[in-house]
Amino acid sequence: MVSSQPIPATRARSRMQRFFASEFFHNYKRNLSAVLGSLIVLGFLVMVTIGPLIVSQNPYDVSQLDLMAAFKPPAWLAGGSSEYWLGTDGQGRDVLASIVYGSRISLIIGLVAMGGACLLGTTLGLIAGFYGGRLDAVIMRIADIQLSFPSVLTALFLMSAFGTGLDKVLIALISVGWVVYARTVRGSTLRETQKEYVQAARVSGLPNRKIILRHVLPNVLTPLIVVATIQVGTFVLIEASLSFLGVGVPVTQPSLGLLIKNGFDVLFSGLWWVSIFPGLFIMLLVFGINLLGDFLRDELNPRLK
């Protein structure tokens, strides 16, 4: 809690300056894993935005592929070439280039699905928590049923019902992911609506829709930041599993998971690099996201302060 002393008139400071002077930033600087996590995530973001301009080939432009260069080992092994740092796969695709393009698909899926799940789950959670009654019961029972299935199984089921494709993957992930938001938001909404400022807003004649958007929503957002961050990592993993199982993204838009699958057939023939490197990158990405999420959870949870 900030001191309730009357504070002197705030000097004009930019948002940026205030951020760098904040306790949040101070704690961040001293937290090694938080810095590491955010650097990893930042690295991935840079890689997927400007990476395609740097790598030597577009692995999905057939004209750029050289079949003669198939299954080249990484550059530091015998037979490797400095042109393909991490080696090539069976079609002569540069593994590093594939990873750059694949990370892009994986991250986009993770972020968009997270956004969709967050929007859907938050809306339902707000409605359930604010209005209560039958609506609440219906929404939360659906959520309970949803939670009783492993998320990969649910997604797998949906994919097999709707077919494969990028949009279908997103739908599957959103249907799996909204529940966390709905539960978190419903809980905080119940707590916030007890508070008198919500009563006061009702008493002042504000319509319910406005009370929810203006007064309740901003006060339940904080815990969502943590959930959302960690969920991007979870979604990247689920998507990888789906693609690995052959019901994920199409081969023309390969994600990191699909890259692992592509190399899996030859994994035990000693051509390990085709699968292992994409796998390592998934691990690194999810690791970075989770480090960041852990820091945010510690920082934004008032009970741990």
Q: Which residues bind another protein (CB under 8 A)?
A: 1-2, 4, 6-7, 9-10, 133, 195-197, 199-208, 215, 218-219
**CA–CA distance from 127 to each of 43, 119, 203 (Å)?**
38, 12, 20
Nearer of residues 1 and 68 to another protein, judged by Cβ? 1
* Shortest reach from residue 134's CB to another protein, in Å: 10
Report how far residue 195's alpha carbon sits from residue 188's, in angstroms, rounded to the nearest whole number: 11
Q: Are 174 and 151 in contact (CB under 8 A)?
A: no
The CA distance from 121 to 177, in Å, is 8
The three-class DSSP label of residue 88 is strand
Pick between residue 126 and residue 238 the one whose CB is nearest to another protein.
126
Q: Where are the alpha helices (DSSP H) in the chain?
A: 15-20, 23-30, 32-54, 95-131, 133-147, 151-162, 166-194, 196-203, 208-210, 217-220, 222-244, 256-264, 273-300
Residue 252 Cβ vs another protein, minimum distance, rounded to whole Å: 46
Nearer residue to another protein within complex by CB, 56 or 222: 222
Contacts of 192 (CB under 8 A, 6+ apart): 198, 215, 216, 219, 220
Report in angstroms how near the CB of residue 293 gets to another protein at its nearest: 23
Alpha carbon distance, N-terminus to C-terminus of the chain: 10
- Nearest approach in angstroms of CB 199 to another protein is 6
Q: Between 206 and 284, whose beta carbon lies closer to another protein? A: 206
Least separation, in Å, of the C-beta of 7 and another protein?
6
Q: How far is the CB of 226 from another protein (least distance, A)?
A: 18
Pick the closer one to another protein by CB: 91 or 219: 219
Of 145 and 200, nearer to another protein (C-beta) is 200
